[in-house]
A and B are shown apart, each in its own frame.
Chain A
Amino acid sequence: MIPKVSYHAGTLGLHRATPVANLLLLSGFLIVVLAAPGILVKLGAFGLVMILTALSGEGVGTFLRNIRFVLLFAFVLFLAQALSVRDGTVLFSFGLPVTDQGLLAGAQMALRFLVILSSSLLFVLVTDPDRLAHAIVRLGIPYRYGFILVLALRFVPFFRREYRTVREAQHVRGVDASIRSLAGLRRAIRYTFLPVLVSGLTRVDSVAISMKGRCFGLYPKRTVTRKEHWHQMDWVTAALFVLLLGITVLARRYAWL
């Protein structure tokens, strides 16, 4: 259930851009899906995420497999909207009428969710959290906030491993924690989510102790040793941001579908 996406070093595509450039591009995707009205623009944005995934050497198939729960949830959002909106022309019916407005609203909602999640996960995949924290500090944001982000990203693979181990422990002990009913959900919370949460909180405590034990927070500022230099790929990324911004403005002005 936890997407198998976490940062790893690479040399292709967005891996070569600085964290600030990648952050800029991510904000471009967020602006386009939240501010542009049409579904074609959102479809295009999702296509661009997939192209960038491929150019960064990540493999579109693997990426989609790893975010299959995100895709599934997007589909559920689409269905819920399509079946609950009654405005517009009825296209067909199977118990509940499905209207053109319902389908459009469902697609809007699902694509918005999909682009936000997939572009964020691509960002996680190609951006070194340590370099990102340093970049944030250089932008003038207090370093404590930068490291909150680093820790959050560091904990994604940890939670995934713990979740897997806890499920295996259930298997070994013959515990059925599948969610098939309300009682099943209660069992899943007790047998799966609580142990993972306890592990997570224990680990957060340990890392907090470790950080304090290495003088974190001793001074208002800290040294940033590694410097970032603006490369060719950063200009490409910045150009994509401008492109996404331009499309948003045009889509709003001409009310693109």
Chain B
Amino acid sequence: MIKIEELCVRYPDRDRPALRGVSERIEPGEVVVVTGPSGCGKSTLCRVLAGFIPGMIPAEVEGEISLDGVSVWEADPARIATHLGLVQQDPDAQICTLNVWEEVAFGPENLCLAPDEVTARVEQSLDFVGITHLVERETTTLSGGEKQRLAIASILAMRPEVILLDEPTANLDPEGAKNVFDLLGNLRESEGRTLIVVEHRLEPLLTLHPRLLILDEGAIVTRRTTRRHMDLDELGLRAHWDLHPPSIGKSREKVALTVEDLSFGYNNASLFEHFSLELRPGEILGVIGPNGGGKTTLLRLIAGLEHPSKGRVVRSKDSVLGYVFQHPHQQIFERTVRGEFEIEGGIAQERLRHTLSEAKLAGLEEVPPLSLSLGEQRRLTLATALSRDPDLILLDEPFIGQDRWNVMWIVSQILTARQRGAVTLLVSHDIPLVAALCDRLLYLGEEAIEGEPNAVFSHLEAMGKEAFLPTYWEGMRA
């Protein structure tokens, strides 16, 4: 049993506590889902439970946490890991070795188990997550979904009583996410483990009948057992987008971006063959598809960071590009938030103040950008990219780990840019959102399918790609 009493956590460089007065009891075999807005303390809770705070990540802590009666404060994280295994949000950050077999064996070998037992656990864990066929592969060659399954297998092999998963589907395509949710269902049914899942996508977890904890500003504000979609509706947590972006009207006659007969591939594997696309001023194109399907590569080709083996990308020479990468820290260079806006020529003081206020970054002008939270960094990179009024906006997974408010802010920025005729290519796994926001969709997978959202969904349905259909599609089909 996990017992949390009056837990408070404060990071050294922050005025407000990350967690305040959190008390909770989690019984063996329970499934608990923790959700809440960005920066509400979900990841901090995971790190405290796993013993990484304050041992490895400095922070002031108050209150008490015990695992089966043993205080977390007095135990080494390696000791806690024998009872509680944490699957981190980014599987890349979790992988310690270079080979799948070694990765799964890493934990059991640290537990000093006999070699035969290590081998047996590796085989069972790989079998459970369905990646036995990858046993001899190098970890660097795996797809995002395969890495996430490997991360789960490597924790399962240690057989902890409690498994804690921090946004396990954040980086996965809808099919990969569905597989992970199915896996959690199997863990619950066949293994009876205690599961604590931090997640924004709640609907797929309803089949587990979880107890839902909603965190806000470091405190638990709601506790509730959820079984039906209606429960999420009542809590305002069901993903539903009613955007109705205004029409782009006459600008449809002109072409702002042309991709002509483009071919490209990596290491002899072709990603694009004779691929063509035309986008008109103000158009928003949603790019969806499985991990490794070529979504990011398409953005890179359009931005000129990759060069096609055949064909070309045509856009006006004086057009301004705004490209936001998936990981914001890679685009941050200056010492202060203000400095980030000065890289691209700077903007008027009044506009800077307005932009920062809109992005909820007001008062942070002189703060080092890398000390901001991930959500703040993402808003900063988007704000700086848009400060030059780009004609072509390339957004790579801007909604990962963002709460509803942040998502709506990003959407508002896209729609404002649309009003002045900017073309937007939006790569995202959030199918309901891209369906509501985009004029057209491009699916990049086994084949490239492009068209109006519902036409693309019809095609995907015929291909059996259920995971890529929005939740409303079920109703439309009926």
Q: Is A255 an interface residue, CB under 8 A from the partner?
A: no
Contact of B329 among A198, A221, A226 (CB under 8 A): A198
Interface contacts (Cβ under 8 Å), in number, total 148
Task: In the complex, identify which listed stretch (B18-26, B94-102, B238-246, B253-261) lies at the interface while the others stay far away.
Answer: B94-102
Residues of A near B132 (CB, < 8 A) are none
Main secondary structure of the interface of B (DSSP, over half): mixed
Interface residues of B in 300-334 (CB under 8 A from A): 303, 305, 321, 323, 325, 327, 329-333
A209 with B52: CB separation less than 8 A? yes
A172 with B323: CB separation less than 8 A? yes
Nearest B-chain residue to A8, judged by Cβ: B138
Nearest A-chain residue to B80, judged by Cβ: A213
* B interface residue count range (under 10 / 10 to 19 / 20 to 34 / 35 or more): 35 or more
Q: Is B453 an interface residue, CB under 8 A from the partner?
A: no
Residues of B near A253 (CB, < 8 A) are none
* Closest CB in chain B relative to A131 CB, distance in Å: 9
Contact of A221 among B56, B112, B370, B384 (CB under 8 A): B112
Contact of B96 among A165, A166, A214 (CB under 8 A): A214
Q: Is A157 an interface residue, CB under 8 A from the partner?
A: yes
Residues of A near B451 (CB, < 8 A) are none
Interface residues of A in 211-231 (CB under 8 A from B): 211-219, 221-226
Task: In the complex, identify which listed stretch (B29-37, B81-89, B442-450) lies at the interface while the others stay far away.
Answer: B81-89
Task: In the complex, identify which listed stretch (B114-122, B205-213, B215-223, B347-355) lies at the interface while the others stay far away.
Answer: B114-122
B99 with A128: CB separation less than 8 A? yes
Q: Is A207 an interface residue, CB under 8 A from the partner?
A: yes
Nearest A-chain residue to B111, judged by Cβ: A215
CB within 8 Å for A225 and B93 given contacts A130-B99, A174-B344, A217-B78: no
Binary contact track A174-206/B, C-beta < 8 Å → 1, others 0: 110000000000000011001100110011011
B97 with A130: CB separation less than 8 A? yes
Residues of B near A223 (CB, < 8 A) are 108-109, 111-115, 118
A206 with B94: CB separation less than 8 A? yes
Bound complex: CA A216 to CA B154 (Å): 13
Among A9, A210, A221, the one with the most B-chain Cβ atoms within 10 Å of its Cβ is A210
Q: Is A129 an interface residue, CB under 8 A from the partner?
A: yes
Residues of B near A129 (CB, < 8 A) are 97-98
Q: List 8 A-B contacts (CB under 8 A).
A: A154-B98, A169-B330, A174-B343, A206-B90, A211-B96, A216-B78, A217-B78, A218-B111
**10 tightest A-B CB contacts, nearest first:** A206-B93, A214-B107, A215-B110, A218-B78, A223-B109, A225-B115, A212-B77, A130-B102, A169-B331, A210-B94
In the complex, given contacts A165-B325, A195-B332, A195-B333, what are 4 additional A-B residue pairs having Cβ atoms less than 8 angstroms apart?
Answer: A7-B98, A150-B96, A157-B140, A194-B333
